[in-house]
Amino acid sequence: RYRKNCKDLMGKPDIVIKKYRIAIFCDGEFFHGKNWKVLSEHLKNSNHSSYWLEKIRRNIKRDQEVTHTLEMDGWHVIRFWGQEIKKNPDACVSEIKELIHELKN
């Protein structure tokens, strides 16, 4: 179990809004397994395929465990993909603002 201090949150969120218990993760598509079915098929034919397949599977599992653990402790978890942030940062900010608005009311 992790400590409730935001500096010690499990999974090391990229952004923490302590007042509203929001943990925000900015996940890279490759290392966090976006479109895993497509990516895993591609990796099967690459150099060091067994290493990368296992590493990314572990990352996906860890991300799920971190999200579950934080939510069970009353945190609101938001995960954005890197390209999502780059292509439409306003939408990401809007999602955070909407959650804060919901939590205020």
CATH of domain 6-91: 3.40.960.10
Q: State the pLDDT at residue 45.
A: 83
Question: According to the model, what pLDDT value does residue 80 have?
Answer: 98
The more confidently predicted of residues 5 and 15 is 15
Which has more confidence, 43 or 10? 43
Residues near 82 by beta carbon (within 8 Å), at least 6 away in sequence:
26, 27, 28, 29
In the sheet that holds 22-27, the strands lie side by side as: 15-17, 22-27, 76-81
pLDDT in tens, 78-96: 999 999 999 999 999 999 9
In tens, the pLDDT along 35-72 reads: 999 889 888 888 889 999 999 999 999 999 999 999 99
Say whether 1 sits in a helix, a strand or coil. coil
Rounded to whole angstroms, what are the CA distances from 95 to 22, 43, 49, 71, 84?
12, 32, 36, 17, 12
Interatomic CA distance for residues 50 and 71, integer angstroms:
32
Both tokens assigned to 45:
């034919």
* pTM (two decimals): 0.85
